[in-house]
Structure 1
Amino acid sequence: MARAKSSTVKHTVISDFKEITKMRLSLSVVFSSLAGYLLGVETINIQTLILLALGGYFMVGASNGFNQIIEKDLDALMKRTQNRPVPSGRMSVRSAFIISSIFTLLGIIILYTINKQTAMFGAISIFLYACAYTPLKTMTPIAVFVGAIPGAIPFMLGWVAATNDFGIEPGTLFALQFFWQFPHFWAIGWFLYDDYEKAGFKMLPTGKKDKGTAVQTIMYTIWTIIVSIIPVFGFTGKLQLSIVAAIIVFILGLGMLNFAIRLFKEMTAKAARQLMLASVLYITLIQIVYVVDKFIN
């Protein structure tokens, strides 16, 4: 009986740890940074790859931890978040703060062992996410713009980790993931509108689920598509795309645009959810195509 109880407690602790660090989100961010590293590196260093994965996970986990501490009272108002460790009372603010602080230190130290610029951008991402994006969410829709900056850093961060240099190549990777985040987050803001409204979050550009928001979603999807194919024209230094890869990337972009247009036509939570899922699939496939294209050409 004691063993069963211990197992339950262990499961709860692990579940809460996953929740406070948003493990699935953190792993997707790590995937982006590793893709950026593979794009920038000439000879793959497994040790650097592991350090980048660990450092990236710690940094994202820290950002999410601080976010949940700051928003604990607001999270308690929303059905989607009320069972998180801090608002539910399963984890104290003090414990969450200690975990987040340790993650911050570990993340910066690990990324610093790769190079100084990687650590600097990692630290900037934590600061902007916790100190700018999080408090702005209840004030203005501009919060999404601010939040898109730390959200776009991981793809770029991988290139910087590989080259110890910031130039047109990581800038292009940053721009791609930056513009992509607007249709992604506005789709989430649309189908979770009622829940966000309970906490006073202003996530949609017009503040409403209207044609204005849908049109802006389409426009930023188009910008994402444009940025995604720029490397094929040879303007982006060592970051290049073959014609075949560019065509694939363009077609994937049209697929995502189709869902953005569908949201404009249908104006439903279902259409918004489909766009969100399509956007996640899109950014994952784009990064895979970029990396595969580099290594086969």
Structure 2
Amino acid sequence: MSSTGVHTSSASIVTDFKEITKVRLAVSVVFSSVAGYFLGADNIDFVTVFLLAVGGYFMVGASNAYNQIIERNLDALMDRTKNRPIPGGRMSVSTAFLIASVFTICGLVVLYIINPKTAMFGAISIFIYVSVYTPLKTKTPLSVFVGAIPGAIPFMLGWVAATGDFSIEPGTLFMIQFFWQFPHFWAIGWWLYDDYKKGGFFMLPTGKRDKGTAIQIILYSVWTVLVSLVPVFGVTDKLFLTPVAGVVILLLGLGMLYYAIRLYKEKTAQAAKKLMFASVSYITLLQIVYVLDKFIRQWI
């Protein structure tokens, strides 16, 4: 009986650790960073890839742990978050703070080993997410604009890790993921509107699930696709897409736009949920297409 209890306790600790650091979100961030690295690197250094993955996880984990400390009382009000480790009573604030602090230090050290600029952008990401975005979430819908900054850093961070430089190429990668944040997070805000309302979070641009919000989602979806196609025209130096890859990106973008228009027509939580999944598919497949296009051009 006691061995079962120990096993359950150990499993719970691991689960809570994964929850406080949001492992699934970290995986998507690491994926974006590694994609950016592959795009920027002339020669792949798998030690750097490993350091980028580890450092990226530390930075995401730290940001999310700090976030859950700050929002612990609000998390307790929402169905989606009330069973998180802190509001669920399974983890103390001091333990969460220790995890966040250790992750911050380790993340900055690991990214600094890659190069100082990578560590600098990692530090900026944590600072904006924790100190600016998190407090603004209960005060203004503009929080999404602020949150889009750290959310857009991972894709460009990989390029900076590969080159040690920030220029038009990582700037373009940043802008792609920056504009993408809006249809993605507004779709989540629409889908989970009632739950967010319990916590006092303002996620939608008009504050309501209305025509104005739906129109802005469509507009930002269009801008996301347009920015994604800029490298096709050869104006972003080393970051270049072939016309074939551009057509693929356009088709993927039209798919996301289709769901944005459906949300405008239906104005339902279900339509918003479908758009959220479509947006995740778009950014993931876009990064794959960008990387494949580069290596296919090199092999031909």
For 1:108-155, what per-residue CA distance to the aligned partner results, in whole angstroms no more than 9, with x for missing partners? Answer: 000000000000000000000000000000000000000000000000
**What is the match of residue 246 of structure 2?**
246
Q: C-alpha separation between the residues in 1 aligned to 2:253 and 2:282?
A: 7
**What is the match of residue 72 of structure 1?**
72
Aligned: 1:86 with 2:86:
yes
For 1:225-279, what per-residue CA distance to the aligned partner results, in whole angstroms no more than 9, with x for missing partners? Answer: 0000100100001000001000000100000000000000000000000000000
Shift of 1:4: 1.2
**What is the match of residue 122 of structure 1?**
122
TM normalised by structure 2 equals 0.99
- Counterpart of 1:42, as a letter, is D
For 1:199-247, what per-residue CA distance to the aligned partner results, in whole angstroms no more than 9, with x for missing partners? Answer: 1100000000000000000000000000001001000010000010000
Aligned: 1:62 with 2:62:
yes
Structure 1's consecutive aligned runs of 4 or more residues displaced over 2 angstroms after TM superposition are none
**What is the match of residue 147 of structure 2?**
147
- Counterpart of 1:222, as a letter, is V
- Counterpart of 2:221, as a letter, is T
Describe the SS at the equivalent of 1:85. coil
Shift of 1:2: 2.0
Gap regions ≥5 residues in structure 2 = none
Q: C-alpha separation between the residues in 2 aligned to 1:237 and 1:16?
A: 44
TM normalised by structure 1 equals 1.00
Q: C-alpha separation between the residues in 2 aligned to 1:70 and 1:2?
A: 35
For 1:53-106, what per-residue CA distance to the aligned partner results, in whole angstroms no more than 9, with x for missing partners? Answer: 000000000000000000000000000000000111110000000000000000
Describe the SS at the equivalent of 1:183. helix
Q: C-alpha separation between the residues in 2 aligned to 1:139 and 1:239?
A: 38
1:1-297 equivalence runs, <5 A? 1-297=1-297
RMSD: 0.4
For 1:26-52, what per-residue CA distance to the aligned partner results, in whole angstroms no more than 9, with x for missing partners? Answer: 110000000000000000001000000
Residues matched between the structures, number: 297
- Counterpart of 2:174, as a letter, is F
Q: C-alpha separation between the residues in 1 aligned to 2:261 and 2:245?
A: 24
Q: C-alpha separation between the residues in 1 aligned to 2:191 and 2:238?
A: 39
Q: C-alpha separation between the residues in 2 aligned to 1:221 and 1:33?
A: 22
Shift of 1:5: 1.1
Q: C-alpha separation between the residues in 2 aligned to 1:3 and 1:42?
A: 52
Q: C-alpha separation between the residues in 1 aligned to 2:73 and 2:203?
A: 18
Percent of paired sites with the same residue: 68
Q: C-alpha separation between the residues in 1 aligned to 2:2 and 2:197?
A: 44
Describe the SS at the equivalent of 1:87. coil
- Counterpart of 1:10, as a letter, is S
Gap regions ≥5 residues in structure 1 = none
